[in-house]
Each structure stands twice: as C-alpha cells, then as structure tokens.
Amino acid sequence: MDKRLLSFGHGYSARALAARLVPEGWHIVGTTRSADKLAEIAATGVEPLLWPGSDPSALIDEFPNVVISAGPTVDGDPVLADCHVSFVRAASKIRWLGYLSTTGVYGDHAGGWVDEETALNPATRRGIARVNAEKAWANIPDLPLHIFRLAGIYGPDRGPFAKVRNGTARRIIKENQVFSRIHVEDIAQALELSLNAPSSGSIYNLCDDDPAPPQDVIAHAAALLGMPVPPAIPFEEADLTPMARSFYAESKRVRNDHAKAALGWQPKYLDYRSGLAAMLGQTKN
C-alpha cells in the first residue's frame, strides 16, 4: 500500500490519525491556516503546509490517500472551493478519500435512534452546511469517497475536567436532551481501518455505545475529580452563546453498528465513563 496521506485541515482528529500512521512509516502532509502552527505540526512527524496560501494541486495529483477535516463555511466547502478542478482531474487516481462530517446532518429526533439509513434533516446552519458538503464531494465522478459522521468529540486536551476544576462547568438541564459522543482515539482507529480496506461510497457513524444527557457527563467528571457537582441550570435560564445554544437544538441517539460490522471497528471507549477515566492521568483536560 502507498503510505502517503494528504490531510486538509490537520486538526484534532487528523492529528490523532497521524499519531497512529507516522510510526508505521506513513508520509503525511497536513495543512493549516496558521503559520504559527507549522512548527507544531512538524514536531509530530507530519510535513506542514500553509493553506490557503499554497497551491496543493500537485499533492492532490500525487497522494493516493486524502482526509478532509476542514469544516464548511457559509460559502461552502473550502477545499472544494479552492481545489475542485484538481479533485475532478485526480479522482480516478485517488485510492481513498475520507470526509469527516457530523451526526448533526440527521437533525433532531427527540431522543430517538438514528443510523446511516436515516433521512438527513439538519436543524442547524452547521448541519445544513455539512449536508451540502457531503453532496458536493459525492458529486465528483469516480472519487472513492468515505464519509464519517462524527458524534461529539472529546479526548486529551478536550474534555470537561478543566471547566470543572476552574468552576466554569455548568449542568444545563433540558428535558429529553441526549447526545452521542466519540473519543478521538476511536475516530483514529476507524479511519485507519478504512484506509487499510477502502470501500468506496461507504458512510459510517462514529460514536460510542452510550448516548447520555450532557449534565450526566459533567456530574461524572466532577465525581472523578472528587469535586462538588456543579448546580443544575434550566436550559431556559442558561446564558448561552448562539453556538452553544445550537447544540441543544438537536436530541438523538446514534447507532454505530454498521461501522463495527463493516470495518471490524472495536471502540476502546464504549462510553463516556471509560473515556473520562482514561483522561484523568493526562493534563489540560
């Protein structure tokens, strides 16, 4: 297998994937919008590329594996906006293209279950943008597209512990509100499995086995730290940013059976309790 991967928007999830692949001899080029992050990316064994600002068309022609984790904007998918012609030209030469989407494409299901066959009905502008981006990638002929719909991502340096410790965590209560989650290491494992066995046109939900109300996660984090559980705040009284409030516009439980069966994926962290316990020994959580 040709171990070259081009990573557009080399952020949290893509870095977790690179941490698995670099020791296996992969050559990875990761893009960033910030010149300040070039050295940080290089220190992980990934070749950094400032983009926008550089022309990645030659890399698209040469690299047989591509992962897209750059999110869409109000103007559409930024990678396609800049590189659509290059991907159309190189589509038949690409071996695997992974697009990291979101379970937000399913919209609100009042706490009900969804799977990959559920109709897409996003309830937020972010969800609508993701649906449009998925469709735009799927419209490129001969492109070996693999879509990964990610639940709420957590892991090292991204979790509730810091807020609990500094007293800013809030247990916001909204009746029947439930989310699915996914540890970043389990995302990376699923992506690597798919890279090793491409199946063009596949769609996978990546989430753990235990959808739960957000206030339960905060309470468990506080208990693990031996700190008082933050007081409950009714959703109607919570002072939330528009972005934070939009997360409460959807309530659903996401199934991951297809990813397990098709990829042989065995998530390491089957629920938030095991994931948070593993994070306790790490800093900046």
Q: Contacts by 58-62 with C-beta closer than 8 Å and gap 24+? A: 59/6, 59/29, 60/6, 60/86, 60/87, 60/90, 60/94, 61/86, 61/89, 61/90, 61/93, 62/4
Task: Assess if residue 223 is contained within a domain.
Answer: no
Q: What is the pLDDT of residue 74?
A: 83
110 belongs to a structural domain: yes
pTM reported for the whole predicted model: 0.95
Domain extent at residue 75: 4-155+181-209+252-268
Amino acid 98: pLDDT: 98
Domains held by the chain: number: 1
CA dihedral sign, ordered 71, 261, 158, 48:
negative
pLDDT the model gives residue 285: 52
In a domain, 285, yes or no: no
Place of tokens 């962290």: 269
Does 54 reside within a domain?
A: yes
Q: What is the pLDDT of residue 283?
A: 55
Q: Is position 142 within any domain?
A: yes
Distance from C-alpha of 200 to C-alpha of 97, rounded to nearest angstrom = 9
Residue 152 to residue 272: CA distance in whole angstroms: 11
Length of the chain in terms of residues written: 285
Which pLDDT value is given to residue 96?
98
CA–CA dist 248, 27 (Å, integer): 40
pLDDT score at 219: 96
End-to-end CA distance of the chain, in Å? 36
Given this model, what pLDDT does residue 241 score?
A: 87
Q: Say if 22 falls within a structural domain.
A: yes
CATH number at residue 25: 3.40.50.720
173 domain residue, yes or no: no
pLDDT truncated to tens, each residue of the chain (285 aa)? 899 999 999 999 999 999 999 999 999 999 999 999 999 999 999 999 999 999 999 999 999 999 999 999 888 999 999 999 999 999 999 999 999 999 999 999 999 999 999 999 998 999 999 999 999 999 999 999 999 999 999 999 898 999 999 998 999 999 999 999 999 999 999 999 999 999 999 999 999 999 999 999 999 999 999 999 999 999 999 988 888 888 898 999 999 999 999 999 999 999 999 999 999 877 545
| Residue 25 forms part of a structural domain | yes
